[in-house]
Chain A
Amino acid sequence: MFKEITCSINGKECTKVIDVRASLTDMLRNQYHLTSVKKGCEVGECGACTVLIDGEAYNSCIYLAVWAEGKSIWTLEGLMSPDGELSDIQQAFIDEAAIQCGFCTPGFVMTTVEILNQKKLYTRDELRKLLSGHLCRCTGYQNVLNAVEKVMKDRLNQ
């Protein structure tokens, strides 16, 4: 069964015909070539496929593509500025060496967007909890926390 789905992806209105059995990860990768959306576990455990839907972070692997109808979706690709500059979050991940193989990074970055949009000063323990839906097999998490904490403080001028 196929269905036409219209949604906004990284700020642009788009329509494509999709298989109703597709996950949102399938649609974003195969139909829109947004390959920052990674397939890790595909059962909602690792966070590698995280995207923002109407401002909230979701594991796109356990989200049916048909549910995207009328939604606003952001992936990592949407964070790049028109002249190709990286966002402050991405830059902080680089500066703090929060990336090794990079497979988990797009997911971590998208959750960080959701967290920092709250414009709150979180403690390190709160950040740990807010980032706990992501697995990283390389960094040991400390540098990821350092990066997120750094952008949070920078943005709040602390």
Chain B
Amino acid sequence: MYDIGNLYEATSIKNAIDLLCEHPKAHIIAGGSDVLVQMREGKLAGVDLVSIYKLDEMRGITITDDKSIRIGSLTSFSHITHNKIIEENLYVLGEAVDQVGGPQVRNIGTIGGNTCNGVTSADSASTLFALDAMIEITGKNGVRTIPISEFYISAGKVALEVGDVQTAIIIPHKSYDGYSGYYLKYAMRNAMDISTLGCSVNVKLSADKTIIEDARIAFGVAGPIPLRAKTAEKRVKSAPINEQTFDTFAESILEDINPRDSWRATKAFRCHIGKSIAKRALEKAIQRAGVETHV
């Protein structure tokens, strides 16, 4: 038995918003793999919950008229990984969310819940940062869409006001068209572990595949919220694909990331692996774009 105060089950997105406005202290529960665990641990003991889990209108992946990819916030990790649209256009996102927890957790866990927690270690988050994802929020005054970099405010805090529900995550066409990506999670165990450091890279190469035309690199656990490595991105933009570029890139990472000491790993260790996983993720992303490198 869970120590739930009152449980309100939403019957539609509109009903969820009404319930949240009526009960401003209530927490939203989506798949529950974080909320219920925190309740068990006593952190959320006795709180009221508004359950949105049964709102199927918030599930599924579609390509919109402007060729953006729209992922309903309640879509589970496993459904993202095995979705055709994702496999063909956004392989790196399917790859990233396939590293969350274990198989049963990936069946219940939702991409919306993963991002609304506001934690830096969320496996989906760094990839969504590297894709310049847009977050669709539905509230009492209608729908608004903001960049993911504005959605994350500080550790554990996201841009949701009372009565707001995150309804979808949108990947704009220009963010994925012609790009290839790679996500690398460094964790102590192969499954059921939280990342020590995660790095997601998206690159676009020149037509002759000799120059990096554009690169977007994001990290998880390198700061209180996921972050983009802007200095490193600038250094590799328009650079030729060679070992020297990869090394410059790896060194530049240290100007961007600011990990902390925690019981999981020290700052020094995170900086050390930061360089190597960034370099490896960049090379792998370039390989995916069809270029042979030595990694």
Contact = CB atoms under 8 A, between A and B. Distances in A.
Given A23-B1, A43-B40, A56-B78, A111 B108 contact: no
Nearest to A20: B7
B175 to A, nearest CB: 29
Interface in B202-233: none
A1 B192 CA distance: 34
Q: Interface size class for chain B?
A: 20 to 34
Contacts of B192: 45, 132-133
A103 to B, nearest CB: 17
Nearest to A115: B103
Contacts of B191: 129, 132-133
Contact of B103 (A19, A20, A67, A130): A130
Interface string B94-125: 00000001111101100000000000000000
A62 B107 contact: no
A113 interface: no
A56 to B, nearest CB: 5
A50 interface: yes
A63 B1 contact: no
Interface residues of A, number: 30
A141 to B, nearest CB: 12
A39 to B, nearest CB: 12
A44 B107 CA distance: 12
Interface in B106-158: 107-108
B102 A66 contact: no
A50 B103 CA distance: 11
B4 A20 contact: yes
Interface in B1-54: 1-4, 6-7, 9, 29, 32-33, 36-37, 40-41, 51, 53-54
Contacts of A129: 103, 190-191
Interface of A: 1, 19-23, 26, 42-45, 47, 50, 56-59, 62-64, 66-67, 69, 111, 129-134
Interface of B: 1-4, 6-7, 9, 29, 32-33, 36-37, 40-41, 51, 53-54, 78, 101-105, 107-108, 190-192
20 contacts: A1-B7, A20-B7, A21-B3, A21-B7, A22-B2, A44-B33, A44-B108, A58-B107, A58-B108, A62-B108, A64-B2, A66-B7, A66-B9, A67-B53, A111-B103, A129-B103, A129-B190, A130-B103, A132-B190, A132-B191
